[in-house]
Every structure is written in structure tokens, then in C-alpha cells.
Structure 1
């Protein structure tokens, strides 16, 4: 594995870890399924995500 591949793997991991990739996937899905609807900003997305978590709690054992 060369330095470029290693850096790409680290970048991918950090984006997955921080949730940045999740927002990008959401934007792609939103554009694909609702092409005329505006895409929320990252801040708006985080607010929507937090509201959804609060209204739809999931119990976890671990």
C-alpha cells in the first residue's frame, strides 16, 4: 500500500467516524429521490437528525 492509498484509507475512516460521510450519502439520496427539493445545509441536517433521534428513541442493551 503506497502513501496515497494509505492517506485515502485514513481519510475514509475519519469521514465515517465523524459522520461527514453520512451527510454526503444523505445529500446524494435526497437529490436522487427528490430532485426538485432543496438539500438542507449540514446544520439543518444535524437539527433534523437530532429531532428524529429524540422522537424515535432506540433502546440498546450495550
Structure 2
């Protein structure tokens, strides 16, 4: 394997793992928050997870249980 191929493979694996673990979702949320609420503090990852869980419980979408 050449060095560019290894770097491409490593970036692909990193992207996949970040999507799988939800890190990319939090990063996208932070960017939206900074854009829409300039100057307001960005919630921590823990606060974001609590918000997301609360929102899912309050408004279930397409869940049978």
C-alpha cells in the first residue's frame, strides 16, 4: 500500500467511526448552534446528549414502543 492509500483508508475509517459513535452529529450541532446563536455558549457533549434524549422522549417518531 502506498502512503496516499493508507491516509485515505485511515480517513475513511475515522469518518465511519465518528458517524457511528455520534461525534460527527455533535460537531454538526455545535456548528449550527454557533451560527444561529452567535455569542451564546455551546452546550457540552453531556448537555447535548441530555437535550437529545429529552427531545426523543418527548416526541417519539416512528417507534412502536
Partner of 2:61: 58
Secondary structure of the 1:2 match is helix
**In structure 2, C-alpha distance between the alignment counterparts of 1:34 and 1:15, rounded to whole Å:** 25
Instruction: Provide TM-score, normalisation by structure 2.
Output: 0.87
Q: Which consecutive unaligned segments of at least 5 residues does structure 1 have?
A: none
Structure (1 or 2) with the larger CA radius of gyration: 2
Aligned residues: 61
Question: Runs in 1 of length 4+ with deviation above 2 angstroms?
Answer: none
Partner of 1:8: 11
Secondary structure of the 1:39 match is coil
Match of 2:21 among 18, 22, 45: 18
Instruction: Provide TM-score, normalisation by structure 1.
Output: 0.91
